[in-house]
Structure 1
Amino acid sequence: MNLEKQIYTRKSCRKYLDDEIDLNLIHDFMNRVKQLNEGVNYHYEILTLDDVNNHNRFSAPYYLAIFADRKENYIDMGFIFQQLCLYLQSIGIGNCWVGIDAPKEKSSDFVISIAFGKSDDFTRSRDKFKRKHLSKISDMGDERLIPAQLAPSAINMQPWYFKHSADGFDVYQVKHNILKRQIVKKWNPIDVGIALAHMYVANEDTFEFYKKTDFENIKGHTYVGSIKI
């Protein structure tokens, strides 16, 4: 199982087949998934299309609904479940983060859903990615950040910024204008977590996440943590 390879070919899947999936594969993977911060309280449910209020132009046979008790944990949700997305792709299951498709049974701790299902259209070549230049997501272009550069995000806003430090990178979330904040405020921390998941998968043996008290304040950015790779 090579999850890093999936980073360079992943495509947000919007075309699904009706084939059944062995859902135990998901549960088995989630039992060994890497957490960004230990002890985060969350859970997930696997639903079918009939259980979801679908507002997208596409639909999937399955939806994974994610729940967390605190908004501070949203970055962890991106980190944890992007690993699952890469795993699903590695076994031929397409997937897509969907922010507006929620369970019909409302719950105050619902965060976001992931549509998934068998597909024959869930990969792409590297030249099809539309992403910011490395110099736009860090204080200096650094090819070690390519995994983060290729991460998916809500309306492709890519709200992450990496500043070099003595032993790795300080990680920031970009603050957007009021209009954009209203649209993606909830999802931006998830997006940053997704980018960090890519950095972990690409540096599995050396990745470390921690928080500083002496980080640099950067105008227009919010510090979220630091990484060693």
Structure 2
Amino acid sequence: MNLYEAIFVRKSIRKYSMDKIDQKVIDHIMNFADSIPMLFDDIKVKLELVQLADLKHFQPGILTVKAPYYLVLYSTKESGYLLNAGHLMEQIALYITARGLGTCYIGNLNLKNKVLEEEEYEQVIALAFGEGECEVYRQSDKAKRLPLKSIAVFKEEADKNVRSIVSAARLAPSGMNSQPWRMVVYNNRIHLFCKKNIFIRNVMKETGLLDMGICLAHILIGAEEMWLEAKPLYMNNISSQSFKKNDYIISVKMS
């Protein structure tokens, strides 16, 4: 199973066996994580593998998910760092899924006994993972997602490859399953927007940008599966405009 195939079967797992995973598998996961390029060159990240046994301050309720392992992502706060974090962590989550293990996003991990030496980094997101107590895969039609017509506007007739990419983006996970992404689709480019929410905008702003990074990862993985060269870029003619219902995030040009 590759990353694209994992998109269609992954689900969030909230109950885990506390058995340890073979160290070779852990090494493969960490090596894969280290191989992922950043969206933006000036962003630096640090990944920390934490075992449940290492969390001396763990208490029921602090974490929504009790798992044997957590992968914690720290990042410098450069422009686009939240988008980058979501893009990076989702690829790791899909890689772990492809290895037959369960994953679940959690907002952050209370690491009172862990202090980063580099003060420029902040904890951004964490991923719980391990052997699931239940089936870790599902059929894609069981995913609770908005219909394609609610999240994508096709400005021209798109071929089957582009439609497959948009279908993969539709299945991206998001905080509280909010599915904030909106796409304007052409045959050689996709413009990615984030839906505005005036009631919880301040609370959900960071989560929304992480979600957009996750969706972007699905688009880029889908493009690679379709043998298309895809490049994320900002379009100045779009970013300079003001939109009533959505915020412009980024575009993906394909060739």
What does residue range 91-170 of structure 1 map to in structure 2 within 5 Å?
91-104=99-112, 105=114, 109-119=122-132, 120-140=134-154, 143-144=163-164, 145-165=166-186, 167-170=188-191
Unaligned runs of 5+ in 1: none
Amino acid at match of 1:109: E
User: Displacement of 1:174 after TM fit?
Assistant: 1.5
Q: 2:72 corresponds to which residue?
A: 65
Q: Percent identity?
A: 29
Distance in 2, matches of 1:223 and 1:102, equals 32
**Aligned counterparts, 1:1-229, within 5 A:** 1-21=1-21, 22=23, 23-49=26-52, 50-51=54-55, 53=58, 55-70=62-77, 72-104=80-112, 105=114, 109-119=122-132, 120-140=134-154, 143-144=163-164, 145-165=166-186, 167-178=188-199, 180-204=200-224, 205=227, 206-215=229-238, 216-229=241-254
Q: Cα distance, 1:36 vs. partner? A: 2.3
Provide the rounded CA distance (Å) in 2 between the counterparts of 1:63 and 1:30.
13
Kindly tell me the number of residue pairs found equivalent between the two proteins. 228
**Could you state the TM-score of these two structures normalised by the residue count of structure 1?**
0.90
Q: What displacement does 1:19 show? A: 2.3
CA distance in 1, matches of 2:126, 2:2: 24
SS at match of 1:203: helix
AA in 2 matched with 1:48: Q
SS at match of 1:109: strand
Mapped contact 1:102–1:113 kept (Cα < 8 A): no
How far the C-alpha of 1:80 sits from its partner, in A, is 0.8
Cα distance in structure 1, aligned partners of 2:174 and 2:47: 20
- Write out per-residue CA displacement over residues 95-150 of structure 1, whole angstroms, 9 at most, x where no aligned residue: 11101433223667111111111224321112211111111112239733111100
**Native 8 Å contact 2:43 2:77 kept in 1:** no
Q: Supply the distance in 2 between the matched residues of 1:146 and 1:164 (Cα, whole angstroms).
A: 12
